[in-house]
């Protein structure tokens, strides 16, 4: 399909990046289950290895099935290019890798997926990187946290677990003033509900494990590059602006322009870190993404109904859904995610830790799992699971205290979900 920008989202989620298979005419994108690709001749092989010609060498770097998914996600996000990887966490490392060096830091929001807090506060230290966590609602604090060694700003659009909405316009202005790229994790919102690039994001990362695949079958991740950041404006990003010894002194930004980050992520990132998405996983995600908008509409409709109902329940203390007028983030919905505030929120229960555990155990339709963004409704008690590694203060800051459960509303019949929640809440207080 030609990339006519006039096509609507519903069309692009089905067609972008795909064309009938040139060898067989197969209408659906084949799973190119191959590790290597035959070179036309020795000259062709040399040109590919020198990055003088774009083509397929080896599936650790590129694969035609994965390439369709990359182009589709890049199109839906409005980016110049994208690289898929083995998981959302791999995507986060892949996003930071070209930007960071030992001694450098990322300024990150306190409201993040629990696994990201652990990755950023512990694991990246092994690379000599660090993260400074700040409340992204406090714009002055974000600006103040930036120092000479900061190389990126990181937040989630609709933040896990509470469904908090980040003011991407305000944060991207701060990043821009500091000459730094803004990385936005758009997993919980998806490009259907939010387009971080339109709000100034440089890179968008995804756990495709969640809504993009939508059915809880495969793990995957993606980094989308807006193509708009000037990597050569300062000497802060030598991986992209300076000569690369492994490619005979090639400069990625000078050579590939808007695709510099994407080419670097494939030619250096995937080549040497090897966090590659396999074609089978890309196939499942391509199947899921075809119905993204339809599913997100139902997710949002159900989340709105159920959060409203929960808010009035006698055993519930509070509900964080940003689509509720009681949410402090309600005022940001129209600007940041006009088609809805997603389907992820937390519920604070009267009765504390014990009530949470009993309620989770008493549910029948909801599954108690460490996942979100499935067609099935899911629930988890964050404090005893995904946010267990965090200190009590970090749990509170992330909205995952001991009396809180996180709910990911699926696409089932809303009345059935309400009935299930009602019986479990009542049983937990019996
Ligand atoms: C799940 C998730 C991740 C991590 O993704 P994996 O695919 O599980 O590695 C990162 N960010 C957010 C917001 C997530 O929900």
What is the domain partition of the chain in residue ranges? 4-99+181-288, 292-428
Q: CA 53, CA 334: separation in Å to the nearest integer?
A: 44
Query: In the chain, what is the straight-line distance between the N-terminal and C-terminal CA atoms, in Å?
Result: 58
Contacts of 407 by beta carbon, 8 Å cutoff, 6+ apart: 306, 344, 345, 346, 347, 366, 377, 378, 379
CA-nearest residue, atom 1 of ligand 1 = 207
CA of 90 relative to ligand 1 center, distance in Å: 9
Helix boundaries (H) for 265-413: 271-273, 279-289, 292-311, 333-336, 352-362, 392-397
Q: What percent of the chain has pLDDT over 90?
A: 86
CA of 249 relative to ligand 1 center, distance in Å: 35
- In the chain, the largest separation of any two C-alpha atoms, in whole Å, equals 76
Pocket residue to mutate for ligand 1, from 188, 209, 213, 399, most atoms within 8 A of Cβ: 209
- Categorize the per-residue pLDDT at 280 as very low, low, confident or very high, splitting at 50, 70 and 90: very high
CA-nearest residue, atom 6 of ligand 1 = 88
From the CA of 90, give the closest atom in ligand 1. 9
**What is the pLDDT of the chain when averaged over all its residues?**
95
From the CA of 112, give the closest atom in ligand 1. 13
- Categorize the per-residue pLDDT at 33 as very low, low, confident or very high, splitting at 50, 70 and 90: very high
Pocket residue to mutate for ligand 1, from 113, 193, 378, most atoms within 8 A of Cβ: 113
CA of 208 relative to ligand 1 center, distance in Å: 8
CA of 127 relative to ligand 1 center, distance in Å: 21
From the CA of 187, give the closest atom in ligand 1. 13
* Residue 70 · residue 17 · CB < 8 Å: yes
CA-nearest residue, atom 2 of ligand 1 = 207
CA of 207 relative to ligand 1 center, distance in Å: 5
User: Rounded to the nearest 10 degrees, what angle do helices 414-428 and 292-311 cross at?
Assistant: 40
From the CA of 208, give the closest atom in ligand 1. 7
3-state secondary structure of 316: strand
pLDDT of the residue at 5: 58
Q: Is the pLDDT of residue 296 over 80?
A: yes
- Categorize the per-residue pLDDT at 4 as very low, low, confident or very high, splitting at 50, 70 and 90: low
pLDDT of the residue at 399: 78
pLDDT of the residue at 393: 85
CA-nearest residue, atom 5 of ligand 1 = 88
Q: With CA atoms as reference, report the closest residue to 155 among 166, 144, 163.
A: 166
Q: Is the pLDDT of residue 114 over 90?
A: no
Q: What share of the chain is helix, strand, coil (3-state, %, to 5)?
A: 40, 15, 45
User: Rounded to the nearest 10 degrees, what angle do helices 64-77 and 279-289 cross at?
Assistant: 40
Q: CA 160, CA 178: separation in Å to the nearest integer?
A: 26
CATH classification (class only), 4-99+181-288: alpha beta
- Categorize the per-residue pLDDT at 160 as very low, low, confident or very high, splitting at 50, 70 and 90: confident
Q: CA 35, CA 212: separation in Å to the nearest integer?
A: 25
From the CA of 188, give the closest atom in ligand 1. 13
pLDDT tens for 15-28 read 999 999 999 999 99
pLDDT of the residue at 205: 98
What average pLDDT does the segment 206-235 reach? 97
CA of 365 relative to ligand 1 center, distance in Å: 23
Give the right CATH number for 292-428 from 3.40.50.720, 3.90.1150.10, 1.10.10.10, 3.20.20.60: 3.90.1150.10
Q: With CA atoms as reference, report the closest residue to 3 among 83, 74, 88.
A: 74
pLDDT of the residue at 391: 86
* Residue 279 · residue 59 · CB < 8 Å: yes
Q: What percent of the chain has pLDDT over 70?
A: 99
Q: CA 162, CA 175: separation in Å to the nearest integer?
A: 24
Contacts of 160 by beta carbon, 8 Å cutoff, 6+ apart: 111, 112, 113, 114, 187, 188, 344, 372, 406
Q: Is the pLDDT of residue 105 over 80?
A: yes
Q: Which residues line ligand 1 (CB under 6 A)?
A: 87-89, 113, 115-116, 156, 160, 185, 187-188, 207, 209-210, 219, 221, 372
Q: CA 81, CA 339: separation in Å to the nearest integer?
A: 24
Which token pair is 37? 């690709």
The secondary structure element, H or E, covering residue 141 is helix 139-145
């Amino acid at each position: 399909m030609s990339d006519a920008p006039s096509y609507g989202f519903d069309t692009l989620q089905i067609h972008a990046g795909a064309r009938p298979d040139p060898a067989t005419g197969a209408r659906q994108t084949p799973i190119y289950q191959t590790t290597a690709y035959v070179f036309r001749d020795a000259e062709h092989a040399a040109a590919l290895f020198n990055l003088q010609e774009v083509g397929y060498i080896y599936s650790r770097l590129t694969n035609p099935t994965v390439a369709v998914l990359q182009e589709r996600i890049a199109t839906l996000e409005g980016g110049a290019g994208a690289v898929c990887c083995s998981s959302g966490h791999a995507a986060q490392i892949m996003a930071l890798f070209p930007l960071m060096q030992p001694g450098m830091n990322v300024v990150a929001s306190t409201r993040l997926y629990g696994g990201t807090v652990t990755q950023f506060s512990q694991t990246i230290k092994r690379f000599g990187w660090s993260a400074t966590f700040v409340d992204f609602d406090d714009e002055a604090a974000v600006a103040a946290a930036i120092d000479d060694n900061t190389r990126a700003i990181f937040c989630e659009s609709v933040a896990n677990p509470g469904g908090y909405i980040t003011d991407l316009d305000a944060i991207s202005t701060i990043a821009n003033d500091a000459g730094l790229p803004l990385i936005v994790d758009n997993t919980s919102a998806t490009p259907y509900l939010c387009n971080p690039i339109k709000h100034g994001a440089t890179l968008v990362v995804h756990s495709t494990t969640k809504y993009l695949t939508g059915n809880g079958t495969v793990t995957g991740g993606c980094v989308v590059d807006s193509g708009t950041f000037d990597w050569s404006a300062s000497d802060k990003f030598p991986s992209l602006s300076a000569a690369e010894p492994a490619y005979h002194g090639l400069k990625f930004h000078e050579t590939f322009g808007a695709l510099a980050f994407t080419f670097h992520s494939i030619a250096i990132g995937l080549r040497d870190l090897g966090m590659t998405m396999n074609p089978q996983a890309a196939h499942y995600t391509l199947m899921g993404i075809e119905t993204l908008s339809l599913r997100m509409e139902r997710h949002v409709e159900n989340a709105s109904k159920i959060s409203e109902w929960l808010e009035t329940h006698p055993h519930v203390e509070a509900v964080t859904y940003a689509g509720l007028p009681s949410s402090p983030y309600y005022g940001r919905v129209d600007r940041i995610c006009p088609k809805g505030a997603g389907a992820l929120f937390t519920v604070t229960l009267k009765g504390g830790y014990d009530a949470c555990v009993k309620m989770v155990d008493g549910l029948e339709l909801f599954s108690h799992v460490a996942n979100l963004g499935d067609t099935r409704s899911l629930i988890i008690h964050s404090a005893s699971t995904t946010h267990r590694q965090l200190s009590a203060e970090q749990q509170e800051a992330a909205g995952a205290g001991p009396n809180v459960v996180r709910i990911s509303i699926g696409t089932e019949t809303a009345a059935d979900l309400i009935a299930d929640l009602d019986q479990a809440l009542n049983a937990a207080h019996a």
